[in-house]
Structure 1
Amino acid sequence: MLVRIVRMTFQIDKVADFHTIFRQSQPIIRSFPGCLHVELLQDADNPVIYSTLSHWENAAALEAYRQSDFFRDTWSKTKILFSDKPIAFSLYPVTIS
């Protein structure tokens, strides 16, 4: 499994627009092959910072989603709402025995 986190800082007057985009997009993202989970988190100290947390079967599934027309369209609508550069990274869960 691969965990993807994308941290985004929005213009204060664009947060509601992002909420609309995410509400419409979340069920579609969840239906992509290899997507196991997707949720939205809000920063505890700054209400204009949000992160998406998604779980993917593998890196290939995430990459297929990122290359989709749906992702390109959604990302183009989202990135114009930012007030700062987004930060994205992928992680693998670690089990220590």
Structure 2
Amino acid sequence: MNLRSRDIVPISEARARLTELAEEVVGAGAEKILTKNGSSFVALVDARKLDYYHALEAEHAGLVLLQEAEEGLRQVLSGERVSAAELMQALADSTDQ
């Protein structure tokens, strides 16, 4: 979704217009960026869209895990392995950093 200049609102103005802005977000599907001291601060987004964004994020995390599992399986099948001792050492080294 493209933001228009009228979708960027100072937070001080948003306080007075919150109901109006919320109705624009829900009714027209507009998203609003609220600014503080001229910089982006928070966004007003329809709650259903937010739920959708969270579902997409969870799905993406699942896909990343699946890709990592596939890569691990590929490595095992091609003989790329480390011993338990090497794994424990690598884990210990990664926590030291």
The question of a shared fold, defined as TM-score above 0.5 by the shorter chain, is answered with: no
Structure with the larger RCO, 1 or 2 (CA within 8 Å, 6+ apart): 1
> When the two structures are superposed, what TM-score results if normalisation uses the length of structure 2?
0.27
The higher radius of gyration belongs to 2
Query: Greater helix percent: which structure?
Result: 2
Query: Greater strand percent: which structure?
Result: 1
> When the two structures are superposed, what TM-score results if normalisation uses the length of structure 1?
0.27
